[in-house]
């Protein structure tokens, strides 16, 4: 299942891929995609649209979904949830690296730093982020946790009781990364997540 590439160049097209054997077979309802949809609805103030996939923990299917979302659907940003632990069926990082042009290790490092504030088992996470490039397009692909609370913490970071940022979330760096690979200009609600750009890269309103 694919859709035509976007006609509005300012629209951010986001691919959301939930990787779960049980959710994809209907054993329980997927939580990853709804959590991401809700977060982006509150965080983004610029135009965006999403494409979703719910698939089992099968490396070939994960790779296929990522390639289709970037190469055919034209997604600028693709986020996966699930399949990043040490279990035999956890193969999302391997599938992500297999379709990559460049690795972006800083995202995975920061995700684990955030999660370690809550649980020591965060070191078991193998989340990665990569760039996939084609002849005329590029996209950022990132592996996220599977639980809604962890997804929000990873994207937003940690704040104190007064709302001051303690640990930056990974999404603060995403808009500028998308700028650098030729994607649309992303604007955010600073109350949820303030996008960071060098002064020279900030678009004047």
Could you report the per-residue pLDDT of 65-114, keeping only the tens digit for each?
Answer: 999 999 999 999 999 999 999 999 999 999 999 999 999 999 999 999 99
pLDDT higher for 6 or 191? Answer: 191
7 lies in some domain:
no
Range of the domain at 60: 12-201
Q: In which order are the strands placed within the sheet that holds 102-103?
A: 48-55, 12-19, 77-81, 138-144, 129-133, 102-103
CB 198 within 8 A of CB 175: no
pLDDT higher for 130 or 6? Answer: 130
pTM above 0.95, yes or no: no
pLDDT for 196 equals 95
pLDDT for 188 equals 97
5 lies in some domain:
no
pLDDT for 5 equals 61
| CATH number assigned to the domain comprising residue 176 | 3.40.980.10
Q: What is the mean pLDDT of residues 53-64?
A: 96
Number of domains in the chain: 1
190 lies in some domain:
yes
Whether residue 60 is predicted with pLDDT greater than 70 in this model: the reply is yes
70 lies in some domain:
yes
pLDDT for 6 equals 61
Q: What is the mean pLDDT of residues 110-132?
A: 95
User: How high is the mean pLDDT of the chain?
Assistant: 92
Tell the burial category of 136 from Cβ atoms under 10 Å away from its Cβ (0-12, 13-18, 19+). Answer: exposed
């Amino acid at each position: 299942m694919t859709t035509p590439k976007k006609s509005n160049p300012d629209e951010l097209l986001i691919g959301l891929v939930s990787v779960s054997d049980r959710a994809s077979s209907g054993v329980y309802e997927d939580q990853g995609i709804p959590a991401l949809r809700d977060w982006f609805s509150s965080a983004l103030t610029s135009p965006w649209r999403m494409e979703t996939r719910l698939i089992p923990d099968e490396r070939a299917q994960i790779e296929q979904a990522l390639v289709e979302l970037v190469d055919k659907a034209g997604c600028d940003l693709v986020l996966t949830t699930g399949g990043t632990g040490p279990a035999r069926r956890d193969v999302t990082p391997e599938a992500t690296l297999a379709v990559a042009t460049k690795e972006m290790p800083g995202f995975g490092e920061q995700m684990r730093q955030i999660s370690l504030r809550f649980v020591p088992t965060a070191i078991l996470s193998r989340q990665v982020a990569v760039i996939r490039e084609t002849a005329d397009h590029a996209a950022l692909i990132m592996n996220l946790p599977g639980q809604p609370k962890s997804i929000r913490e990873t994207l937003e970071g940690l704040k104190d009781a007064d709302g001051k940022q303690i640990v930056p979330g990974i999404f603060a760096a995403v808009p500028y990364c998308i700028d650098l690979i030729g994607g649309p200009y992303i604007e955010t609600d600073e109350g949820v997540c303030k996008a960071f750009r060098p002064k020279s890269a900030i678009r004047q309103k």
